[in-house]
Structure 1
Amino acid sequence: MRRLLLALPFALLPLAVAHAAEEHEHASLGAHEHGVGRLNAALDGQTLELELDSPAMNLVGFEHVASTDADKAKIVTARTQLENPLVLFNLPKAAGCVVAAQELESPLFGDQPPVDVDEDEDHDEDVKDADGHEHHHEHSEINAHYQFTCAAPGALKTLDLANIFNTFPATQKIQVQLIGPSGQQGVEVTAKAASLKF
């Protein structure tokens, strides 16, 4: 099934190219953009895989390594919420889905180093200190991968992302690439329109 998710971007490449052509040159698919998350979803038989990628800013309110107790508490809270995907994705009870595997990764969790901002790119996050020296903020992502086994996958008619927007209000939109029984689709969901059909 992991291969299915890895193939998803290639299967949806025509949709992504069409969507990217409509976007501003600064807001391309896959780019680190605050307020925007990405979700790959694939339903194959009884297996549902979801892969959520989001700038840490959307989920915890910052992207630096936590040094204060308040920041550390925010990371623990976000991680705890991400560790409960049945609630986060509001999967229908009738589908009988159980978590078969899950993996959370982020430099904020101590898994990997933060990504430095490319100095050739123009970013609003460049900061000058009192001496006039520029400092670049680091970008941190939070990646969550879930695999569910669903006893009645036919009951998965929709994927409701409202709880993600409610839990992480800094998330303004999620770019979704989905493969399901009715084919493949690439859509953008918001808090006001947080549900999509499989």
Structure 2
Amino acid sequence: MHSNNPHALPKTALYLGIAALLVAGSADAGENPGAHRHGYGHLQMAVQDDNIDLFFTSPAYNVVGFERQAKTPEEETRMAEISDWLGNNPLIDTVPGSCVVMAGAVHHTGPASQPDDDPHRHDEHHHDSEEEGHREYEVSQQLACKALATGQTFSSPLKVRFTNLEVLTVEWVGGAGQGSIRLGAHESTFQLGQ
């Protein structure tokens, strides 16, 4: 677990804040938001007053370009820089830019890679591939935003920062209701209540 803030929120607090989204399910019933699909990410928001709890999930490929453990010092540095960025920069912000990360945590999930000299490793999968297992990034944040309004317009830097992320599904729940939107190519802004 990577935590970027001494006040990092426990996962259970965030999950409780977003529980209504998970119960409601995706707006597109044919879509499985938990499915591991390269190019696709999922962002859930729970909005209360001027506070937002976020939970972002994505295959590691979308974020770092591979789904194995880092093999070189350069890859380790890149992964550390990405984790730092994900934990300390708002994954959504109001268009005027009024949100601040109050707490954040970045987690990497998935099976650990086996070393190249492991005798139990299958030779047919020995090439540098993603067959070591699906690895995911899970990022949770608590944001404080100034004067959130009904119909607030938000922007997300995720698709600009991570070019392998082609589609970002955003789901939200709050005092004004719930909804979702799919941000495709060249889309990075959305409104609550769209």
Q: Is the pair's TM-score, using the shorter chain for normalization, greater than 0.5?
A: yes
Unpaired runs of 5+ in structure 1?
108-112, 117-125
* CA shift digits 1:27-75 (9 cap, x unpaired): x321011110010011111211111111110000111111212211220
SS in 2 for 1:128: helix
SS in 1 for 2:149: helix
* TM-score for the superposition, normalised by structure 2: 0.74
Residues of 1 paired with 2:178 and 2:75: CA distance? 39
Deviates more, 1:144-153 or 1:31-40: 144-153
Q: Which position in structure 2 is the counterpart of 1:176? A: 170
Q: Runs ≥4 in structure 1, deviation > 6 angstroms?
A: none
Q: Does 1:85 align with 2:80?
A: no
How far the C-alpha of 1:6 sits from its partner, in A, is 2.2
Equivalent positions of 1:14-29 (< 5 A) are 16=26, 19-21=28-30, 23=31, 28-29=32-33
Return the structure number with greater helix share. 1
Residues of 1 paired with 2:144 and 2:33: CA distance? 29
Equivalent positions of 1:45-124 (< 5 A) are 45-86=49-90, 88-93=91-96, 95=98, 97-107=99-109, 114=111
Q: Which position in structure 1 is the counterpart of 2:119? A: none
Residues of 1 paired with 2:150 and 2:97: CA distance? 6
* TM-score for the superposition, normalised by structure 1: 0.73
| Paired letter, 1:42 | A
How far the C-alpha of 1:181 sits from its partner, in A, is 4.2
Q: Which position in structure 2 is the counterpart of 1:192? A: 186
Paired positions, count: 168
Q: Which position in structure 2 is the counterpart of 1:147? A: 142
